[in-house]
Amino acid sequence: MTKPKVLVTRKWPEAVEKRISENFDAKLNTADSPMTEDELIVAMKEFDALLPTVTDKVSDKIISTKESKVKIIGNFGVGFNNIDTESAKRNNIVVTNTPEVLTDCTADIAMLLMLGAARRGSEGEFHVRKKEWDGWRPTHMMGTKVTGKTLGLIGMGRIAQAMAHKSHLGFKMNIIFYDPYFDNQEIIKKFNALSCRSLEELLSKSDFVSLHCPSTKETQGLIDLDALKKMKSSAYLINTARGDIVVEEDLIKALNQSLIKGAGLDVYEAEPSVSPGLLKLKNVFLLPHLGSATEETREAMGMRVFDNVVKFFEGKEPRDRVV
């Protein structure tokens, strides 16, 4: 029996690539260079399955390619806003993602950003590396205490719950959240959490605002200058969700004008490009989209894609089907 032809758009963990190569007629991207739109259009005509990552924009133009052979798009990532899912529906293409396996590691990065921004982590490290530190003194590089403060979560899915767990039980933080679709009383009780009636209520009450909502038409640009003005001047914004949820130029303005005290970012509006305005600021802690970047998690994500694609070609329902 002929093996399905599968294209992997970027370099994946070695163990995953080995498993894919053993089970499919696979083409791997050993150079790990991003594929162009034209290359993806050609691929749609040659392969039975496309395995992109969250940084590969799979647009309607690509999905609607004439004489396309692709039957399933197995996305490497929990988010799938890089894929035109409406186009996938119209063209009868199945789309899967990789939920659950990256929950803890992404929450860990959110914690790192919160602590790093509050305690001026990157600023302090550069201070030492540049040999500018001339010794301890009572007023040197004072930051913000995290323990006992109020953490506001926008979205209350798996990653937000993991961050709530680490923050509430580890740092004795008060947990509040805004998520009109969440009403799990057991989890709310577990963290002694407060459900806010509006985004404005959450923004005004939080010492740290952490974003955990997907990028949708409703959430894109959600955190703009108006929203930032509703936050405390002593508050911090943390984003491990998607860059386009925040209007980056508005955030830069808010940080420059001390409308908020600082920010910690792992995602950006136009990745991998980062606004020069952010790079100039000391009160923002920046990471290069490392949320799920551990060996264990990235391998688990790849295996999740593999399992979904195997099930599909066996005629079974993929575990993580989103379309």
- The DSSP line for 29-82 is -TT-PPPPHHHHHHHHHH-SEEE-BTTS-B-HHHHT-TT----EEE-BSS--TT
Q: Please name every residue paired with 262 in a beta bridge, in sequence order, or none if there are none.
A: 236
SS3 119: coil
Respond yes or no: is residue 271 known to be catalytic.
yes
Paired tokens of 218:
């409703």
Per annotation, catalytic residue among 201, 289, 299, 321: 289
**Closest by CA position to 261, among listed 237, 239, 293, 227:** 237
> From CA 157, how far away is CA 80, in angstroms rounded?
15
Respond yes or no: is residue 289 known to be catalytic.
yes
> From CA 252, how far away is CA 278, in angstroms rounded?
6
Respond yes or no: is residue 119 known to be catalytic.
no
Per annotation, catalytic residue among 19, 120, 212, 242: 242
Per annotation, catalytic residue among 201, 249, 271, 299: 271
> From CA 159, how far away is CA 240, in angstroms rounded?
10
In contact, 242 and 215? CB cutoff 8 Å: yes
Q: What does DSSP assign to residue 246?
A: B
Active site residues: 242, 271, 289
